[in-house]
Structure 1
Amino acid sequence: MATTRDENQSLYQAYLEACNAHDVDRMASFYAPTIKVNDVPMDPVSTAAQFPVLFAAFPDWHWEMRNLLIDGDYVAVHFTVTGTHRGAFNAIEATGRRVSSAEITLYHVEGGKFSEVWDFGGMEAVESQIREAEAP
């Protein structure tokens, strides 16, 4: 018999597969009808709509799970993101620079969907790495 821990681990691994496939529609299917992202209520489509801009700037964007912790209906993930800056990102034209950053995300699962998500770190480091490529 599957435990909540096993179910939440499977849920996250399936979500990670959708993320790494850049399958935005599938990603949205993992979100509750109202999901809070860093305490801001959003609908699944709006939440997933944040990713195409990232994927356009970094077509090879990839999340690699380093650690996964599950406590009841909470899932914490420590991962590394990598990508190559091939398109405009935050008004910075493509640099061709390879970026890498560590991140931690905490998810709250309700009814088999992510109902709350908190992201910690990462994107500032990515932007810093591509800005370094701009410097003379």
Structure 2
Amino acid sequence: MATKGTPPVSEVTGYEARNEEHRALYQSYIGYCNAHNFKAMESFYTSPININDEPWAPSKVTAQFKPLIAAFPDWHWEIRNLTIEGDYLALHLRVTGTHRGTFRGIEPTGCRMTTSQFTLYHVVDGKFADVWDLVDTDSVIKQIEQGKAVL
């Protein structure tokens, strides 16, 4: 029997099971992201998916990654923190890559960069329905511009 303020064991088990499902969903997704498998990535999104409160087609989401991967072919996301609350996943990611293609008008420098990304996902029926994303792009530009100065 649960005490006041403590959910029954079956309810806790249900929360834990859902959290593990969400964790597994994200682990699978990040694997496809790091493999740069855009088609597989699209299968994780509702249609439309809301990106920063704007509805997008799944293909538009993955299209934004193509120039990024062209500029940083080894672009990689590493999970630093994953917190799950209900159907929301909050992530702090470490992002790395080597500048091998033009990025925002800056020619390749060969510079290795590291930055942070913070993303909040809302899961509906096993797919990402809403995403709020913040990447420290200024840090990326600063690092590759410093690499350019060294060349």
Q: TM-score range by the shorter chain?
A: over 0.9
How far the C-alpha of 1:38 sits from its partner, in A, is 1.1
Higher relative contact order (CA 8 A, sep 6+): 1
So what's the TM-score if we normalise by structure 2? 0.85
How far the C-alpha of 1:34 sits from its partner, in A, is 0.8
> Hey, what does 1:52 align to over in structure 2?
66
Structure 2 gaps, min length 5: 1-13
Distance in 2 (alpha carbons) for counterparts of 1:17 and 1:77: 15
So what's the TM-score if we normalise by structure 1? 0.94
CA RMSD across the alignment: 1.4
Counterparts of 1:51-130 in structure 2 under 5 Å?
A: 51-130=65-144
- Deviation string for 1:81-110 (max 9, x for gaps)? 000000001111101000001111110111
Runs of 4+ in 1 over 4 A off after TM superposition: none
Q: Number of residue pairs matched? A: 136
Bigger Rg, structure 1 or 2: 2
Structure 1 gaps, min length 5: none
- Alignment-mate amino acid for residue 103 of structure 1: Q
> Hey, what does 2:28 align to over in structure 1?
14
Percent identity over the alignment is 50
Distance in 1 (alpha carbons) for counterparts of 2:52 and 2:137: 14
- Deviation string for 1:13-38 (max 9, x for gaps)? 00000000000101111111111111
